[in-house]
Amino acid sequence: MRVITVIEPPRGWLRLNLSEVWRYRDLLTLLIWRDLSARYRQSVVGYGWAFIKPIVSVLIFATVFGGLAGLPSDGIPYPLFALAALIPWSYFSASLAGVSTSVTSGGHLLTKVYFPRLILPLSSLGAGLADLGLQLVLLFGFLLWFGICPGWPVLLLPVFILYAVVASLAFGLWLTALNVRYRDVGHAVPFLLQAWMWLSPVVYSSTLVPPRWRWLYDLNPLVGIIDGFRWCLLNTAQPRAASFFLSLLMVAFTLVGGVIFFRRQEATFADMI
């Protein structure tokens, strides 16, 4: 029996066509595997870089900020305190950078074959989960070394991982659509991520932020994600519910706006690339 597929322009800004994305799940899996295999291709250490980079960063942070600067770490050994924040931050920063260039780097596919354009940013999100999983294994090894046993909140860790994935997609959809039209975005993203790290509680505790500025600080979704990781893994203070839902609301609005903007621009991607 012949099957005829009719390709039509998308209708409705909020129509995600998730069923169509599901039909192309084989392509999504193939792109994720391609990104995974290319990440450490022709590398001697290979996936060992997933351990080396956070260990070196933790050593530097522990020496400079934990030792010389004497920043408080909520009663937790500073190496653990920093590592629990570096893991979600590394995933978010790498995923956001990958999503922001996913459409331009996949231009050779856009001009040759039809597939849901949303697959390109989604593939960038999936590839980073491998490094995140390896780094969590490293963190649990550190927990054993320091004799810290996570409590029941560790069961909620997948929630904060999912939150990091959604936050990366929410901001990445804006950036990748803008990057197709304005290539300056590709140059601005590294600077944006560098500033974003210092505005997030990676090397310091969020409790250092003055109460009068806390509502503004909580708009940063990385605050809720990093505090959530530390709560789940290190038994630190539970994140404030008001702060978490404030950042969640921020991400929800950004995601909806990003989807609308991405869908308005995707019809012109092939022409501009």
Q: What pLDDT digit, counting tens, does each position of 113-135 carry?
A: 777 888 889 998 988 898 899 99
pTM of the model: 0.89
Half-sphere exposure in the Cβ direction for 33 (13 Å, CA)? 6
Q: Which of 167, 165, 156 is nearest to 235 (CA)?
A: 156
64 assigned to some structural domain: yes
4 assigned to some structural domain: no
3 assigned to some structural domain: no
pLDDT over 70 at 77, yes or no: yes
Q: How many residues does the chain have?
A: 273
31 assigned to some structural domain: yes
Residue 109: count other Cβ atoms within 10 Å of its Cβ. 18
157 assigned to some structural domain: yes
7 assigned to some structural domain: no
9 assigned to some structural domain: no
CA-CA distance, 248 to 244, in Å (whole number)? 6
Residue 106: count other Cβ atoms within 10 Å of its Cβ. 21
CB 92 within 8 Å of CB 222: yes
CB 100 within 8 Å of CB 242: no
Range of the domain at 100: 21-272
5 assigned to some structural domain: no
Count structural domains, the chain. Answer: 1
Residue 47: count other Cβ atoms within 10 Å of its Cβ. 14
Tens digit of each residue's pLDDT (9 = 90 or more) over 170-200: 999 999 999 988 888 888 999 999 999 999 9
204 DSSP assignment: S
